[in-house]
């Protein structure tokens, strides 16, 4: 049994490396000196779906992670970014490895669905909201590790992980955390999440010259971890979940459904609130893919036709096409919409910005019924809410690490220059898999094959 380090460098593609040669020299050297393959992504090509696919070796129809969030029909509510590993069905790579050798141990550092798994060690961000602020906390296994990491590394930089400040600081903290976990526990398999590239690829797009600097920054972080792994006799893997492509606008899919009479809202105070349970149809938007939930089967064909006529929507998958794509799970929408290559989906359902719900203007990933990349920006012209500001100032005075006071999210969808979710048209624009080991790899490795390759690295060919 050989130790293995897996670095999930989000957004890394061969296309990016080719556009900015020499900026990620350590990762480039790994691709040339070891073994590498293009990964065949799954639909939707988003974080949690990709991770669940790699770790279980199955498609969304089996593991159930149909997007970063979905409609919980029993609750009549949309939930995004949940963390319980019990949502992921099927045998995970660490379960298979432990069955092979009871001495096997594993650590999962900031990959998703990181709570209540059978990993020996877990570290993940766990924001806590006391009133109207946000405090950066950790969930760890064992529980005492959280305070030990706080003392050693400082508080996890939550507001450098997501929001207008998102940048290299969060990936650097995660890397230091991985080093600490290695010293303390010496896991056989370490899964480490490095999100840095994702931020400016969405803000600026994959062609912006600044992406070269981002490549260099995350390459330096990855190199330190790979060098440390080599020194202790471990093999390293660098992989990614998806590639991002250039976009120039969005599709307001829920507004389309509202204007057609399918989507319903509740009007409360000055706001409009999405009423999922009363809607005949609505969409859960997640980057370039949207699950469309249709209450009455008799409406499915008409909803599909209305969406197919909408500019910026390339395809709408119904039952057979969902099955072909591997996303035919009960959690999926009755329809799955896929945007055109240069578009992405907003979650917006209100017609008048003055009536947008209170969460729309702030960073609130758990309240929004869809993914909102505009949380990476700040609109200083939005009206200031004094109670929120005063409470956050008070929390800061007490020493809590709370979010920026003026998190005013803009509504200009054209600010987003890069997106993902649909399958890329070129192999080199999609995800990749590379390892320091002399591992036999095909030119294209299905994402469902990652689990088997990790087990091969751990135990050799006789798995």
DSSP string, 89-111: -S--HHHHHHHH-TT--EEEES-
DSSP code of residue 423: P
pLDDT number for residue 2: 96
pLDDT number for residue 378: 83
Residue 279 has pLDDT above 70, yes or no: yes
Of the ranges 34-38, 325-329, 401-405, which one carries the lowest mean pLDDT score?
Answer: 401-405
Encode pLDDT of 190-217 as tens digits. Answer: 999 999 999 999 999 999 999 999 999 9
Phi, psi of 418 (to 5 degrees): -145, 145
Burial 333-344 (b: 16+ CB within 10 A, else e): bbbbbbbbeebb
Encode pLDDT of 301-346 as tens digits. Answer: 999 999 999 999 999 999 999 999 999 999 999 999 999 999 999 9
pLDDT number for residue 405: 43
Residue 145 has pLDDT above 80, yes or no: yes
Residue 60 has pLDDT above 60, yes or no: yes
pLDDT number for residue 126: 84
Residue 241 has pLDDT above 90, yes or no: yes
The pTM score is: 0.93
C-alpha 202/C-alpha 241 separation (Å) is 15
The contacts of residue 153 (CB under 8 Å, 6+ apart) are 173, 176, 177, 180
Average pLDDT of span 160-166: 92
Of the ranges 128-142, 218-232, 442-456, which one carries the lowest mean pLDDT score?
Answer: 128-142
Of the ranges 64-68, 270-274, 293-297, 348-352, which one carries the lowest mean pLDDT score?
Answer: 270-274
Average pLDDT of span 255-262: 98
C-alpha 52/C-alpha 92 separation (Å) is 8
Tell me the average pLDDT of the chain: 93
| ω into 44 cis (within 30 of 0) | yes
pLDDT number for residue 414: 96
Encode pLDDT of 7-22 as tens digits. Answer: 999 999 999 999 999 9
154 band by pLDDT with thresholds 50, 70 and 90:
very high
Domains of the chain: residue spans and CATH:
4-245+423-459 (3.40.720.10), 249-419 (3.30.1360.110)
Compute the 3-state secondary structure of the chain and give helix, strand, coil in percent, each to the nearest 5: 35, 20, 40
Strand 271-274 with 265-268, pairing: antiparallel
Q: How far is CA 6 from the centre of its chain?
A: 17
Average pLDDT of span 389-413: 57
Residue 107 has pLDDT above 90, yes or no: yes
C-alpha 71/C-alpha 115 separation (Å) is 21
393 band by pLDDT with thresholds 50, 70 and 90:
very low
Of 153 and 408, the structure prediction assigns the larger pLDDT to 153
C-alpha 42/C-alpha 384 separation (Å) is 41
Q: How far is CA 327 from CA 43, 64, 290, 334, 371, in A?
A: 7, 8, 12, 11, 19
What tokens does 243 get? 């590639």
Encode pLDDT of 338-391 as tens digits. Answer: 999 999 999 999 999 999 998 898 888 989 999 999 999 987 666 544 344 434
């Amino acid at each position: 049994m050989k130790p293995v380090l897996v670095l999930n460098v989000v957004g890394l593609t061969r296309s990016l490396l080719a556009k900015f040669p020499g900026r990620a020299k350590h990762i480039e050297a790994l691709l040339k000196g070891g073994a590498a393959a293009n990964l065949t992504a799954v639909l939707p090509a988003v974080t949690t779906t990709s991770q669940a696919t790699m770790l279980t070796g199955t498609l969304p129809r089996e593991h159930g992670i149909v997007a970063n969030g979905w409609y919980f029909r029993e609750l009549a509510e949309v939930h995004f970014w949940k963390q319980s590993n019990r949502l992921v069905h099927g045998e995970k790579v660490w379960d298979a490895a432990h069955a092979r050798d009871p001495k096997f141990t594993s650590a999962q550092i900031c990959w998703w669905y990181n709570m209540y798994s059978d990993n020996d060690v877990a570290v993940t961000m766990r924001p806590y909201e006391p009133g109207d602020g946000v405090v950066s906390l950790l969930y760890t296994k064992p529980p005492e590790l959280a305070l030990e990491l706080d003392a050693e590394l400082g508080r996890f930089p939550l507001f450098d992980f997501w929001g207008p400040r998102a940048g290299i600081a969060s990936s650097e903290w995660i890397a230091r955390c991985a080093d600490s976990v290695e010293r303390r526990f010496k896991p056989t398999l370490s899964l480490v999440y490095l999100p840095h590239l994702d931020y400016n690829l969405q803000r600026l797009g994959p062609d912006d010259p600044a992406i070269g600097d981002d490549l260099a920054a995350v390459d330096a972080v990855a190199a330190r971890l790979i060098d440390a792994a080599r020194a202790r006799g471990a093999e390293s893997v660098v992989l990614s979940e998806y590639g991002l492509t250039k976009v120039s606008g969005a599709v307001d899919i829920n507004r389309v459904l509202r204007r057609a009479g399918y989507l319903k809202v509740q009007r409360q105070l000055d706001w409009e609130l999405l009423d999922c349970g009363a809607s005949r149809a609505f969409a859960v938007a997640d980057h370039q893919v949207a699950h469309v939930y249709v209450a009455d089967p008799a409406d499915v064909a008409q909803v599909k036709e209305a969406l197919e006529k909408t500019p910026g929507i390339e395809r709408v998958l119904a039952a057979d096409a969902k099955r072909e794509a591997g996303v035919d799970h009960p959690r999926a929408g009755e329809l799955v919409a896929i945007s055109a290559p240069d578009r992405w989906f907003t979650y917006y359902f209100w017609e008048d910005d003055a009536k947008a719900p209170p969460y729309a203007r702030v960073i609130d990933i758990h309240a929004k019924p869809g993914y909102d990349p505009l949380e990476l920006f700040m609109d200083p012209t939005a009206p200031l809410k004094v109670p929120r500001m005063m409470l956050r100032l008070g929390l800061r005075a007490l020493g809590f690490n709370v979010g920026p006071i003026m998190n005013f999210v803009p509504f200009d969808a054209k600010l987003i220059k890069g997106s993902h979710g649909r399958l890329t048209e070129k192999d080199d624009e999609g995800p990749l898999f590379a390892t320091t080991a002399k591992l036999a790899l095909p030119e294209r490795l299905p994402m469902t094959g990652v689990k088997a390759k990790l087990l091969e690295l751990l135990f050799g060919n006789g798995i």
